[in-house]
Structure 1
Amino acid sequence: MKDIRLCDNGEFDRIIKLSEKYNLGIEVQTFTDPYLDNMDKVIEHHRDKLKLLNKGKSLHAPYWDLNLGSKIHGIRNETMNMINFAYDTAKKLGCSEIVFHNGYIPGSSYPPKWVERAEKFWREFFENKGDSITICLENQFELDADIIKAEIDAVNDKRLKVCLDIGHAHANSKISVEEWIIELGDRIGYYHLHNNHGSQYIKNHNNDEHLGLTNGNIDINNVLDLSEQYSPNAVWSLEPQNEYMEESIKWLKKNRRGNK
């Protein structure tokens, strides 16, 4: 049975009710902010509710201003602090995956050297870590799959996979979502599923619209078919804006995708 989860988009209490209603897992995004007030109480609240959810659980790590392949030691070290914070929080919450952004900006660094630094970063991070949590690298501004593919292959650790965000790939990259899937194959362990209209170059417009599955121009049926072909064991995590969440769940069920 397909492992399907709902991204809470920072509204944990609202979305976990949908997880319970439709018997689906959840991706907790509350802790993308590592400076929450009353952190211990917030973690306790989430832990208590997640104990009652007998489905898959994952955590989205902080991502603002981070870059794990940076040459600047302060940036690199703070990025390490944030992934360690996410790892500790995920253990407390019983999560099996952490979604984490590379922070790579195309053109800002020579890719082979960036990958070398990223490899060192991950080897340091995984030292003395167990194998109960998988880190899933999410694409954001990458123009193609090359740098993530090189990073995964260089580290060569089963605890490091790809989170393919199909909306980011469609809005920001120069290749199709389908090409991303074919190129990365079973390196993909996790998907963020939402839709948009691609690069539109409209003033004051965010191309990463996070619409419902059928509200943009990504061919969702084709993308999911390729997902099942090339990365059949990957988690599907729905990440539209919350106003589109329930209709996207219903679309998956109506079209006989995953859980019924």
Structure 2
Amino acid sequence: MYQGVCLFITGILVLFSSQLMATDERGEVRERLEPKGFLYGFGLGVNQELYKGYDRRVIPLPILGYRGDRLSVLGPFVSYDVLQQEGVKLAVQVSPRFQGFDSSDSDIFIGMDERDFSFDAGLGLKYEKDDWNLGLSSMFDVLNKSDGYELKASLGRAFQSGPIFYEPSISVSYLDANHVNYYYGVASHEATSSRPAYQTDSAVNTTIGFSIATPIFFEGFTRLSIDYTWHDANIADSPLVDTGTNLSLRLLYSRFF
């Protein structure tokens, strides 16, 4: 499975190399999408959950942060570029993982151990050319909740129409077996007649996304992002799960001091 993900990432690099190498300058649209300075604002995330009886997760995201040439702090999301060269950025990253559950979230979890929220840290590689954005990342659970990791490859292209910016994207993520079994597995001591024990392997998920952003509201910057994800069968086949796809939305508003 791991080799397959690596081959897929290599294929993306080869397929889009001609477009990405067209110029050494960063695209003008992406420059306008990511202005620099101290900022504040708020965000709201709504995720359709895969779990049985757990319809959605609502995540408030207060924003107080800074975006500079190397350091980016957007609430709990932090990255620092340790390398910048000819459109390539290598960053150290920290981000929360809004997953997990307890017995109050759904009847399917009654009698199960709680699965905890966690934080991930790792490295991200970003390559930007002509408003194309190719990203690779490797993130590990630093709180040792799942002891898992995620590898991710993403590709996006920014466009502008008047004061409206929009960006379609596609990403593929590899989740190791520790991660999958922690959030979607059922241990032997948690098994019941209606919830059999379940341990599985790693998973590869695919997501298509679309974001739209504008600076025309309240002298700030507003962004709406929508992601639709197809989950691997190793996740969809879990006795805790009743759907193999899910939709997530994020609304963010920020303005500079």
Normalized per residue, the structure richer in strand is: 2
Structure whose residues are more often helix by fraction: 1
TM-score, scaled relative to structure 1: 0.28
Larger Cα Rg: Structure 1 or Structure 2?
Answer: 2
